Amino acid sequence: MRMFLILYVYWNGMTYIELNYEPKESDFLVWFYAEPPAGKDMRYVADRIAEESSIGTWTDLKTLLPEIWEKLRARVYEIDEKNRYVKIAYPLHLFEVENMPAILASVAGNVFGMKSVENLRVLDFRFPKELIERYEGPQYGVDGVRKMTGVSDRPFLGTIIKPKIGLPAKMHADVAYEAWVGGLDIVKDDENLASQDFNRFEDRLSLTLEKKDLAEEETGEKKIYLVNITAPYAEMIRRAELVEDIGNEFVMVDVVIAGFSAVQSYRQEGFPMAIHAHRAMHAAITRNPRHGMTMLSLAKVYRLMGVDNLHIGTAVGKMEGSAEEISGIREEIQLEDVPEKEGRFEQKWYGMKPVLAVASGGLHPGHVPAVVDILGRDIVIQAGGGVHGHPDGTRAGAKAMRQALEATMQGIGLEEYAKEHTELRKALEKFTHKS
């Protein structure tokens, strides 16, 4: 009887909709927002998504054998007409489980280009234990970076060298030194600083690390330099080897631009450096609320593939994103067990290390209390213009950031703390009216 039913479905118009299906713990789940084209309903669009993202195509196939259909088809197990939600369960047998690029090619590939879908957005993934166990995850994560730096009881403070492009290598190193001795923990390259003729990678690396050593000696604090190795993959590896040889603890990769394959492959290379993941270009994928993928779903992929730090947004400053959204991303990359919410699956991480979240984009000392209130202590608060734009320069800007954090940790209002801290007072006078 079972084979008869399968053959009947097979020859008489298949549907991937199975609303009485209970997803298995081993299933890979995807939560979509979907809009059907004119004249079609949610059942139609749900079927087309499941079909294209698993084993089907636009017409009947003589080659789609019943045993393939039974074993590998996606199953639409929930359709929410009001909210336009579609939940689909995929059997792990459908994928090469260790191959994240290929998995995404299925569930987040051709589906976005179909005429049978007006708009489509991946809201979330639910990774099963069997998949999570095939990935390395972060090498260091939150606790590892804290151990590396000795910063145990507060957020990290960082800056991005500004202007992001244009400084020669020596000046770049000098600016980094000013930021470190002013009280910041972390200095990083910006996303588009590579190895331009005025600032070659090798020169910048060696000169900046010389200044890092000097700043550590003068302050008695551990300092971190996030050097951008983003490049075509072979060159990226060559640069990583230079970083390893010189003894730096971190590299930075523009993970969206470099690509899923490069990120996964780099993590598997086994370099000892922690990975700082800049998310430049993510908004081309994530910003449209009706199409693409959420930053939440991308963040989960990057935790799985093994970054140690990840930019998640600020909820304040110049970058788009609500406090609720940014807090949700932080929870997803840091909690062990994440509860289900609207548009978001319950997710267990089975011991995979948490990722250090990074808030960056238009921040200045006046934003520090809000960022800590929204995102907690396991965060890097990065200010570029908010440091280097200080009226008295980079060192004063770094001092102002450190003073703002000291006030916040002590529960003192910034205006009150600024009465006896000139750098913070001047920063607030300049920046707060522009926020």
Q: Which helix (H) or strand (E) holds 132?
A: helix 129-132
Separate counts of helices (H) and strands (E) for the chain: 19, 15
Instruction: Give me the torsion for CA of 19, 56, 262, 232, rounded to 10°.
Output: -140
The Cα 184–Cα 364 span in angstroms is 13
Q: How far is CA 20 from CA 16, 34, 127, 264, in A?
A: 12, 20, 21, 36
For 103, phi then psi, to 5°, come to -60, -45
The Cα 151–Cα 183 span in angstroms is 12
Q: Residue 278 catalytic?
A: yes
DSSP calls for 231-266: SSHHHHHHHHHHHHHHT-SEEEEEHHHH-HHHHHHH
Q: Of these residues, 87, 162, 291, 390, which one is catalytic?
A: 162
Amino acid identity for residue 172 in this structure: H
Q: Of these residues, 87, 172, 276, 278, which one is catalytic?
A: 278
198 half-sphere exposure, CB direction, 13 A CA radius: 8
Q: Which helix (H) or strand (E) holds 29?
A: strand 28-35
Handedness of CA 308, 314, 315, 320 (dihedral sign): negative
Best CA proximity match to 365, nearest among 155, 100, 74, 136: 155
Best CA proximity match to 28, nearest among 71, 92, 79: 92
The Cα 183–Cα 103 span in angstroms is 43
List, in order, residues 6 or more apart from 287 with CB less than 8 Å away.
320
The Cα 188–Cα 194 span in angstroms is 12
Parallel/antiparallel/unpaired status of strands 347-348 and 309-311: unpaired
Residue 391: cis peptide before it, omega within 30 degrees of 0: no
Q: Which residues are catalytic?
A: 162, 278
